[in-house]
Amino acid sequence: MDQIDGMRLFVRVAETRSFTVAAADLDLSRSTATDQIKKLEARLGAQLLTRTTRHVSLTHDGEAYYRRCLQILDEVDDADQMFAAGGPKGLLRIDVHPRIAMTFILPQLQGFLAAHPGIELFIGEGDRMVDLVREGVDCVLRAGELPESSMIARRLAFIREVTVASPDYLAKKSTPASIDDLAGHEMVGFVSSRTGSTLPLEFTVEGTVREVSLPGRIKVTGSEVMADLARRGFGLVQAPRYRFAEDLERGTLVEVLPRCPPPPTPLSVLYPQNRQLSRRVRLFIDFVATLFPGGEI
C-alpha cells in the first residue's frame, strides 16, 4: 500500500471510527487495515488512534494528521479529476445554519447532486465560526457581520429581518405604534454564540439604526426555542422574515413596528484563503450563489 492509499485508509478509519467498516469500504481485510495503520504510526513515530474493544478514536496527533490528510487527498483528487471523465468526485464538507439549509439549499439540492453524481455531501449544522482548515470543512454559510479572519467571504444576499410577537402578548401589552411605546414591553433574549451577550433589538428609524434592550425573563441560544417562546406569548423577538413567513400568514405571530424594521443581515459563504479550492467546492459555491439572484431574501 503506497502513502496515498495509507492516508485514505487512515481517513476512513477516523471517519467511521471502525477498522472493520473502513476495511470493508476499501475492499480490504480487517487484519490488513490494522497492519497498515500500525505501519503508518511506526513510520510517523506517533500514535494516531486510540483503540479499545468497542471504540476507535483519534489522538491529538491523529486529529492533526487527519486534517492534513484531508487537504492532501483533496488536492490529489482534484489533480486527477482534471484528466478524468465524469466530472468532479469526492466528499464536500459544508457547514450551514439548519434553517438556511432547509429553506434555501435542500429544496434545490437534488438538482445539484444530479448534475454532479460523483460528489458526496457532508452537512454540518451550526452558526459558530468554525476553523475550516483545522476542522476539515470546505466552506460555510454564515449570516451576520463577519469578524476579521483569514477566510475569503463572498456576499450572497441580504436577509430581511422582522419584529414579531403573538396576538395574546400584544392583547396584554398593547401594540406599540413607535419606538417610544416599547417601554413596558418584554423580549425573549437571544444570546450570541460568538460574544455570549444578549443581543438588543434593532430598529431602523429615518435611516438610523436604534438599539433597544428590553427586560425579559427568558434567554435562549437557539432560534427554534426563541420562535416557540414568541408564539407562546413570552415577548418580542426579531429574526429573518422568511423564518416567520408561515406564522405571519396564519396569524400565530404579528409583525410589530413594520415601519421601523430591523436592518437586513448579510449572508455570506466563506472558504479558506490559503487553500487551493477543489473543483467541487467551486461548483458548490457557484450553485449556492444562484439560489439568491435578487440579492435580498
Residue that finishes a domain, picked among 52, 81, 110: 81
Block residue for cell numbers 423577538: 237
For residue range 139-171, list pLDDT tens digits in order.
899 888 876 666 788 999 999 999 999 999 999
Which alpha helices (H) appear in the chain, and where do they start and end? Answer: 3-16, 19-25, 30-44, 60-81, 98-100, 106-115, 132-135, 167-173, 223-231, 245-250, 279-290
CA 260 to chain centre: 29
φ, ψ dihedrals at 127, nearest 5°: -135, 10
Indicate whether 188 and 210 sit together in one domain: yes
Indicate whether 241 and 173 sit together in one domain: yes
Indicate whether 94 and 34 sit together in one domain: no
Residue that finishes a domain, picked among 81, 110, 144: 81
* Number of separate domains in the chain: 3
Block residue for cell numbers 495503520: 37
Task: Give me the pLDDT at residue 132, please.
Answer: 57
Integer angstrom CA distances of residue 50 from 90, 99, 135, 198: 27, 36, 19, 40
Task: Give me the pLDDT at residue 129, please.
Answer: 54
Indicate whether 212 and 122 sit together in one domain: no
Indicate whether 57 and 140 sit together in one domain: no
Q: Are 278 and 138 contacting, i.e. CB atoms less than 8 angstroms apart?
A: yes
Task: Give me the pLDDT at residue 266, please.
Answer: 94
Cα gap 286→112, rounded to integer Å: 11
Indicate whether 15 and 59 sit together in one domain: yes
Cα gap 212→191, rounded to integer Å: 15
Domain-embedded: residue 296 = no
Q: What percent of the chain has pLDDT over 70?
A: 91
Indicate whether 259 and 165 sit together in one domain: yes
CATH code (residue 62): 1.10.10.10
Domain-embedded: residue 297 = no
Task: Give me the pLDDT at residue 185, please.
Answer: 98
Average pLDDT, the chain: 89
Integer angstrom CA distances of residue 123 from 68, 113, 198: 20, 14, 28
Indicate whether 183 and 201 sit together in one domain: yes
Domain-embedded: residue 44 = yes
Cα gap 239→129, rounded to integer Å: 19
Cα gap 82→67, rounded to integer Å: 23
The whole domain housing 17 covers 3-81
pLDDT band at 71 (very low <50, low <70, confident <90, very high): confident
Which of 129-138, 151-160, 213-222 is most confident? 213-222
Indicate whether 100 and 184 sit together in one domain: no
